[in-house]
Amino acid sequence: MKYVSTRGEAPVLGFEDALLAGLASDGGLYVPEAWPTLSADTIRGFQGASYEDIAEAVMTPYVEGDVPRDAFRSMIDESYATFSHRAIAPLVQIGANEWILELFHGPTLAFKDVPMQLLARLMDRILTARGKRVTIVGATSGDTGGAAIEAFRGREAVDVFILHPHGRVSDVQRRQMTTATEGNIFNIALEGTFDDCQAFVKALFNDHRRRDALSLAGVNSINWARIMAQVVYYFSSAAGLGAPDRSVAYSVPTGNFGDVFSGHIARTMGLPISDLIIATNQNDILARTVASGRYEPLGVEPSTSPSMDIQVSSNFERLLYEICGSDSSRVRALMGQLAQQSHFELTENELTALQQRFRAGRAGEAEMSDALTDMVERSDYLADPHTAVGVAVARGLGARTTDPVITLATAHPSKFPASVEAVTGAAPPRPKQLQQSDDRPERMTVLPNDYTTLAEFITERSRVTRVAA
C-alpha cells in the first residue's frame, strides 16, 4: 500500500516510512492511496473468530509490501497478549438494543492501548532493521501518554517525550505517566491546554531542521498506524452482532476524531454501519461543524471527560480530504484559512457529504451524569465519563433504525475515580493494572507555554542529538 499526504506536497510513502514520518513533511496527514474492501463472506467469517485473526485480515492490506505476514501476525499476537480479557474488546449489553464495546482491557485501561501496543512493536522492528534511533514527541489529553509510555518504556531505539497540559489530567492518568522509571521516558507538564501541547508537537514536526536533527517520530493519532489498528474492533463487534447480515450503529466519544474516523474506514471497507455518531462533551467543535459547516475552535473548557477536551481535531483533516474529493489544494486552502482566520467554512456540497457520513451531538455535564446514573441503576453497569458522553449523545439523538447501537467504552471508570464517585456516590473498583503505580515517586518537568524552551529541553536530552553532537 502507498500513502499520500492530504496536502499533496509530500513524498508518496510505503507503510513503514509513513509510520515513521507521523506528520507528512508538508504539514498534512498520510492516508492510503486507495481503500481496500472486504467481501461479505470474509466479514461473515469473522463471526466467532478470534480478535487476532480479525486483526490480521483487516490490517494486512495496509501493510502489504512492507511487513512480512508472519512477522505481522507475531506482533499482533504479542500486542494483544498484554490485555487482561480474552476477547480483547468484549461487548456488554446494557439495554434492549444498546451495547457497550469495552476497549479498556489493555495495560493502561484506555482504548489507546489497542493501537499503541502494535505501533510500538512495528516501530521497533523498523528501527532495528534500519539500525536507526528516533525521538518520539507526543501530546496527550490524558490517555495517549500513559499508553505510549507503557508501550515504549525501556525500548533501546527510542526516547519518548510526552507533553500533557499541567493540572488538567486526572491523578490516575498523571501517575501512570510519571511513575515510569526508565531513562528513555520524559514527562513534560506544559502550562497550557492540550491544544497548545498538540500545536507544539506539530510545530516541532514543521521545524525541519530540528525534525531531522532529532529524527522525530510521532505517536499521536496523526500517525496512520494508530487509525489503522482501531478499524479492527469495529469489524469484531459488528460481526459479533451478526454483520454482514445485520447492520449496526455506533456512538463514539470523540476528541481528535481518530477513533470515529476508524469507524468510517470500516464502513468504507464494506462493514454495514447504518449510523456513525460523533459524541462530544461541551468542547463541541465537531458537533457544531456537522450542524453548520463552520469549523471554529473556541476556548477549551475543562470537563469530567478530559481526554475529549480538545478544540482542534487533527484527524478531521483526513475526512476533509475525502469530502473535498481528494483535492489537496482545497485542503491546503482550508487549513491555511484556519491558521490565518481561526476558522473555515465548508461549501454546501462538502457539508452535505459530511452530514451523509456522520451524525453528531454534545452532552454537557448534566447529560453525562444522567446517563452514568441511569446505567448504574437500570443496567448495573458502571461506565466512565467519556463512555457516558457517548451513551448520552446516542440516546439524545435517538435511533434512526432498529439496528443495535454500540457505544465505544474508551476508558475504564477507575481512571476517573473522583468524577465517577461524584456522580454515583461510590469509588470505582481498582483493577490490578493500577495497583502497581501506587507508591512510586513521580518524575516530570513543568515547562512554560513557550516553543523555544520546549524545543531546547528536548534537544538537550534526546539520545539522538546527544550521540550526534
Ligand X SMILES: *Cc1c(COP(=O)(O)O)cnc(C)c1O
Instruction: In the chain, count H helices and then E strands.
Output: 21, 16
- Between residues 236 and 254, which has the closer beta carbon with respect to ligand X? 254
Q: Indicate whether 253 belongs to the interface with ligand X (CB under 6 A).
A: yes
| Contacts of residue 338, Cβ cutoff 8 Å, sequence gap at least 6 | 295, 344
Q: Which is nearer to ligand X, 114 or 464 (CB)?
A: 114
- 8 Å CB contact between 116 and 418: no
Is there binding between residue 259 and ligand X (CB under 6 A)? yes
Considering only CA atoms, which of 312, 289, 287 is closest in space to residue 299?
Answer: 312
As measured in angstroms, the least distance from the Cβ of 213 to ligand X is: 29
CB of residue 218 to ligand X, shortest distance in Å: 14
Q: Nearer to ligand X by C-beta: 221 or 251?
A: 221
Question: Cα separation of 24 and 68, whole Å?
Answer: 24
Among 108, 178, 221, 369, binds ligand X (CB under 6 A): 221
Rounded Cα–Cα distance for residues 331 and 315 (Å): 13
Smallest distance from ligand X to CB 139, Å: 11
Among 138, 258, 270, 428, binds ligand X (CB under 6 A): 258
d(CA 286, CA 277): 11
Rounded alpha-carbon distances, angstroms, from residue 58 to 76, 210, 243, 358, 383: 12, 36, 15, 22, 28
* Cβ distance to ligand X smaller for residue 190 or 214: 190
- Where b means 16+ CB within 10 Å and e means fewer, 293-315 reads bebeeeebeebbbbbbbbbbbbb
Interface residue with ligand X among 7, 105, 386, 395 (CB under 6 A) is 386
Q: Are 218 and 201 in contact (CB under 8 A)?
A: yes
Reading the block at residue 38, the C-alpha cell is 472486504
CB-wise, 127 or 323, nearer to ligand X?
A: 323
Instruction: Pick the stretch among 13-21, 89-97, 255-263, 370-378 that binds ligand X (CB under 6 A).
Output: 255-263
Decide: is 255 part of the binding site for ligand X (CB under 6 A).
yes
Residue 382: CB atoms within 10 A of its CB come to 18
254 binds ligand X (CB under 6 A): yes
Size of the site for ligand X (CB under 6 A): 16
259 vs 322, beta carbon nearer ligand X: 259
In the region spanning residues 391 to 430, those forming contacts with ligand X, defined by CB under 6 A, are 410-411
Residue among 154, 130, 148 nearest 219 (CA): 148
Q: Which stretch binds ligand X (CB under 6 A): 37-45, 237-245, 254-262, 335-343?
A: 254-262
Query: What gap in Å lies between CA 156 and CA 135, rounded to an integer?
Result: 11
Work out how close the CB of 464 gets to ligand X at its nearest, in angstroms, rounded to a whole number: 27
> Which residues are within 8 A (CB) of 430 and not within 5 positions of it... i.e. 6 or more apart?
414, 417
Residue 257 engages ligand X in binding (rule: CB under 6 A): yes
- Indicate if 415 belongs to the active site: no
Q: Compute the least distance from the CB of residue 254 to ligand X, in Å.
A: 4
**Candidate ranges 63-71, 129-137, 250-258, 396-404; the one touching ligand X (CB under 6 A):** 250-258
Question: What's the chain's length in residues?
Answer: 469
Please say which residue, 144 or 328, places its beta carbon nearer to ligand X: 144
The footprint of ligand X on residues 112-151 (CB under 6 A) is: 112, 143
Q: How far apart are CA 189 and CA 444, in angstroms?
A: 7
Q: Compute, in degrees rounded to 10, the torsion defined by CA atoms 305, 311, 314, 315.
A: 60
Closest contact distance (angstroms) between CB of 312 and ligand X is 11
Q: What are the residues whose beta carbons fall under 8 Å from the beta carbon of 49, sequence distance 6 or more?
A: 239
- Active site residue: 2, 112, 202, 415, which one? 112
Ranges within 315-374 binding ligand X (CB under 6 A) = none
Q: Is 256 in the site for ligand X (CB under 6 A)?
A: yes
Binding site for ligand X (CB under 6 A): 110, 112, 143, 221, 253-259, 307-308, 386, 410-411
Positions marked catalytic: 112
